[in-house]
Structure 1
């Protein structure tokens, strides 16, 4: 295998202007973010399901349907038990996470795409099975964006089973727990054979994934690189929002 998992040549060719101008929010379904060898190694050594915590009917803030799935966080989690330490991961995943964390070029890519001068990265894995759904939602304001890496191939996943991350546009109701039918248009991503989905979190960045119809034993596998504000920046944004609501000068 090559020395790197990320295909940096692809990053250098990325259409940042096209990404930023996409409506209703910036997103891109990237093909080939990882090298062929890197994808295959990470696919083969995807963390064991035994490490995951299953989220079953966990309540969501605005009454959306729950996101039932297997969940695993890297190193720490504020709310969940499914946590894996670096040394517990397969060696390929240890090297990949080390690369993400130390790659100046990947950080420049994220900085330019999301327009963020400061950010932190955290990592988590999601595994969906028959019936798993990601109901339409917005991410929390502290998230600047997310890079979702899919670890399925056309040999193990049928597109008819669902699983595509959907970019939703034109919400027709005021409620914060809309259904997929409450949007004027839906754009679907591809999730097999070394695809990933990068998006910027905005007030219009509604997204989700319909309930999986996959047979028992077939899994939708993700690795999420979550881009967040540093804690001090996130705290300041919340203070500014509160001051605005109170009619106070910033």
Structure 2
């Protein structure tokens, strides 16, 4: 489903890219139309001002929603597949970001791959993928600067908005940042930081059918600054996909 064609990369201070039209238009419209209701979400004040629905946050609501939404269940199955992980890793490797996580091929002694051993293709590091529904109010919604948990390897943030419904003046972009105090750049364990203590280097605007992808590193600081939309503005809705290692 996801089309990671034509990514626009930045490599400093850590690898991050922006992909337009990441989903087929009909699939995107269907997913936006059937996005879960706010009542199913869990409020997450420790992360800023946002709501979350995932296999960790309100898992009963999460799986019940997937069971009654064919479009989202199909997307869930896609994200959970080995093919999805391989496609993301291949795209990164093709753009000089090789995490060494692609599956190893089993080769016979004579140098020829045999059909009987293809099922033994594996990875040195066991990885899996999952996704979280996330929403924030346009008036005051935010995510504090952080670097993501150590087990996260790659994060993809997909916008889920009705075409023409969002005003860029409200904010909502995903920002790359670094602590003003550079002695605090190293943040492998993912301590959050107040916004006034970081320097914003670049902001990827919040636009329809886009994906912002970044690699977890010791300095992968990012945030969403407090938004300034009106009270009656639509919620900023996203889907966050994480490729993770099993600790």
Assess, with a 3 A threshold, how the Cα gap between structure 1 residues 203 and 97 changes in structure 2: closer, same or farther.
same
2:153 counterpart (128, 144, 150): 144
Structure 1 vs Structure 2 CA RMSD: 2.3
SS state at 1:152 partner: coil
Check conservation: 2:40, 2:58, Cα contact below 8 A: no
1:120 equivalent in structure 2: 128
Check conservation: 1:47, 1:89, Cα contact below 8 A: no
SS state at 1:95 partner: helix
Matched, 1:44 2:59: no
1:191 equivalent in structure 2: 206
SS state at 2:53 partner: strand
1:247 equivalent in structure 2: none
Q: Superposed, which structure 2 residues align to 1:11-160 within 5 Å?
A: 11=4, 13-14=5-6, 19=9, 22-55=11-44, 57-58=45-46, 66-73=47-54, 76-77=55-56, 80-81=57-58, 83-85=61-63, 87-102=66-81, 104=83, 106-112=84-90, 113=92, 115=99, 116-117=101-102, 118-129=126-137, 130-160=139-169
Using the TM superposition, give the Cα deviation of residue 70 of structure 1 relative to its aligned residue in structure 2, in angstroms: 1.3
Partners of 1:14 and 1:152 lie apart in 2 by 22
Paired residue total: 207
Assess, with a 3 A threshold, how the Cα gap between structure 1 residues 89 and 228 changes in structure 2: closer, same or farther.
farther
Using the TM superposition, give the Cα deviation of residue 101 of structure 1 relative to its aligned residue in structure 2, in angstroms: 2.3
Check conservation: 2:80, 2:128, Cα contact below 8 A: no
Check conservation: 2:171, 2:206, Cα contact below 8 A: no
Using the TM superposition, give the Cα deviation of residue 109 of structure 1 relative to its aligned residue in structure 2, in angstroms: 2.3
Give me the TM-score of the superposition, normalised by structure 1: 0.74
Give me the TM-score of the superposition, normalised by structure 2: 0.75
Check conservation: 2:48, 2:141, Cα contact below 8 A: yes
Using the TM superposition, give the Cα deviation of residue 183 of structure 1 relative to its aligned residue in structure 2, in angstroms: 4.1
Gaps of 5+ in 1: 59-65, 235-250
Cα deviation 1:34-54 (Å, max 9, x = unaligned): 011111111111111121112
1:224 equivalent in structure 2: 240
Cα deviation 1:136-186 (Å, max 9, x = unaligned): 111111110211111124521111111100011464343565444544542
Assess, with a 3 A threshold, how the Cα gap between structure 1 residues 29 and 48 changes in structure 2: closer, same or farther.
same
2:225 counterpart (200, 210, 219): 210
Using the TM superposition, give the Cα deviation of residue 100 of structure 1 relative to its aligned residue in structure 2, in angstroms: 2.4
Partners of 1:54 and 1:30 lie apart in 2 by 29
Q: Which moved more, 1:40-49 or 1:107-116?
A: 107-116
